Structure 1
């Protein structure tokens, strides 16, 4: 099967700020891009609702910088038509998305952002599957699923925040489905024979933070909105480390 992201032995990036990614780094980076679309909408909503507004604005700014840098790396690394087209589409959508994300928070704009975020994260997920198949090693699946878990941690918090800001039955369904998918993802990751003591320890931490987030999402906490915001960030930190560990296993 053709590799969708190829690494020439002496490859040099066309731009100083861009890096040619290894196959495992490409899968992980795409997972991160999925997560960032959801994190930005979550933070935009938090700004609009006055939930840790200053921290939310900083999250938007840092996430925009991270997404842009990673997009440059993906553009530099894509070498076959299907992956080039997928990343180019992401680039086009990103131009609109980042402008909207930096506007004063409004419910109508949040809806536009969320629609774009859902399209971008879905397309990125399909690309990640193709890269996993091209890579052809079990670590590719672990990296992809861990990346999806990162995205879901933010998608859950985003859906909860948007529900509070503007009632929408579809968001409630999205949240419920995302909770099921996240829980199933943890089970899949833990069952892998590729795990090491380090990844199993990180999975234990993820399970702990997941319990906290589920409690906040169910409204068991007296300050559910703030707890959802902060716990989703802690869960993201744990899943980021796990994704990095799986990426190293695949190199």
Structure 2
């Protein structure tokens, strides 16, 4: 049975008091938080499709609930941080889309309404991308670009899994295969870019090696989809494992950016 484990409104009530007491976030953390909104836009759509395709439903419901709470926590922190009109405008546009997206994401998954859900996910992704770019420009920190790039890799793990699930559900969207292939290609370009970064520490290089090894395993699963032999549970599990590794990588780049100020 589909259910949300913890009402986001309850969690937000608990968060409201604590967030007001926190110190303002740094530019590097703001890039990371805004980049996290990109990832969560795709993770929520992935969770919706997991439930619709009966793929690890309990996990999907738990992730959906925590993702919604994380988006709203990030939005509060970024609202408090916003240092200029461009960033405030980007936050406002994303907030309008989020209100619609959240409402639809909390309904029972249905193939008929999945197209609208994916459309809202795309819009929120684009608006979150615009927000990241605004914050990166404001920061003027070269290392913040690595936080952005690593954060985008984090998003792509969830986007790839989301598009894979959409294809396995045979949703009537014309661009699914094209978008899936584009996301896979972008992930590989991103790995190459991060591997070449002169700022990388030994620890970061080791993390990148582990991510590359796991990515090669994921690619083997993607090849089955070309013959319409889908393995959604494998892809979901692998994408989440990649996400955890890249989350740590992004935090390391955030620390690097913070020390470069």
Q: Common fold, TM-score beyond 0.5?
A: yes
Aligned pair partner of 2:155 in 135, 148, 151:
151
Q: Secondary structure at the match of 1:169?
A: coil
Alpha-carbon distance in structure 1 between the residues aligned to 2:72 and 2:110: 24
Deviation at 1:21, TM superposition (A): 1.6
Asked whether the 8 Å contact 2:35–2:129 carries over to 1, the reply is: yes
Which ranges of structure 2 fall in alignment gaps of 5 or more residues?
Answer: 1-15
The answer to whether the 8 Å contact 2:44/2:105 transfers is: yes
Q: Distance in 1 between matches of 2:104 and 2:167?
A: 20
Residue number among 215, 222, 231 corresponding to 1:217 in the alignment: 222
Query: What is the CA distance between 1:143 and its match in structure 2?
Result: 0.3
Residue 17 of structure 1 deviates from its aligned partner by: 2.0
Return the offset for 1:242.
0.4
Give the secondary structure class of the aligned counterpart of 1:51: coil
Contact 1:42 1:154 in 2 (8 A): yes
Is 1:244 aligned to 2:251, yes or no? yes
1:127-206 matches, within 5 Å, as: 127-165=131-169, 166-206=171-211
**Residue of structure 2 in register with 1:5 after alignment:** none
Equivalent residue pairs, number: 238
What is the aligned partner in structure 1 of residue 103 from structure 2?
99
Q: Write out aligned runs for 1:74-85 (5 A).
A: 74-85=78-89
Runs of 4 or more, structure 1, over 6 Å off, are 220-223
Q: Please, which of 48, 66, 69 is the counterpart of residue 70 of structure 2?
A: 66
- Conserved? CA contact 1:75–1:88, under 8 Å: no
Q: CA RMSD in A?
A: 1.7
Give unmatched runs, 5+ long, in structure 1: 1-13
| Offset at residue 25 of structure 1 (A) | 0.3
Pairing partner for 1:234 from 231, 236, 241? 241
Give the whole-Å Cα distance in 2 for the aligned partners of 1:30 and 1:209.
26
| TM-score normalised according to structure 2 size | 0.87
Deviation digits for residues 143-169 of structure 1, max 9, x if unmatched? 000111011111111011011211433
Relative to the length of structure 1, the TM-score reads 0.90
